[in-house]
Amino acid sequence: MILTGSEIDAAIQTGEITIDPYDPARLSPNSYGWRLGGTIRVCAGALDAAVPTAFTEQTIPTMGLVLEPGLLYLGVTHERTGSEAYAQMLNGNRTIGSLGIWVHVSAPLGHQGHAIRWTLEIRAAKPVRIYPGMTFGKLVFLTAYGTPASYQQQPAKYAATDGIDISRLYEELPGGVL
């Protein structure tokens, strides 16, 4: 079940949910409007799952940055979010989609116990200017059933992530770079 905006706020007040920084005005009936952080990585050229992804990293200027089609961008959420009690689903929203921006299509699930600033996969259909701190999507919190297992306590490769992180699939592939 998805928490309502008022239940998200109540869970923040009791410490069951972390959203930092938190702004109650960003709550909607069933979600929280998250923002784009101020840093972006540009992954140009061919990508290979067996080797770490090459990138350049830059601060998104206050006057904005134009995303170009054909490039993979890795961004980060402005907010750090998490909960030991609830799972999370992070998605883009209609407003961003209407600009031709696809964000975080492949990995929207945040496990219980994973308190992070999310790495975002971003693609643009057409050249489009983005700005640091702009609303970029919606975050929902879900009730999990069964015995909870904190993600931070698992031997997971992204457990310590707290910002932009490249794919680490190469750690799993035979012959991949370690």
Active site residue 79: no
Which residues lie closer than 8 Å to 32 by C-beta, 6 or more apart? 5, 8, 19, 26, 81, 138, 139, 140
**Chain centroid to CA 110:** 9
Q: Among the options 79, 121, 171, 172, which is catalytic?
A: 121
Q: How far apart are CA 155 and CA 124, in angstroms?
A: 34
Task: Say if residue 132 is preceded by a cis peptide, omega within 30 of 0.
Answer: no
**Cα–Cα–Cα angle for 131, 5, 93, rounded to 5 degrees:** 35
Dig out the tokens for 104 from the structure.
């975080």
b/e code 144-172 from CB counts within 10 Å (16+ = b): eeeeeeebeeeeeebeebeebbebeebee
Spatial CA neighbour of 165 closest among 117, 93, 99: 117
Spatial CA neighbour of 18 closest among 83, 75, 69: 83
User: Which residues are the active-site residues?
Assistant: 121
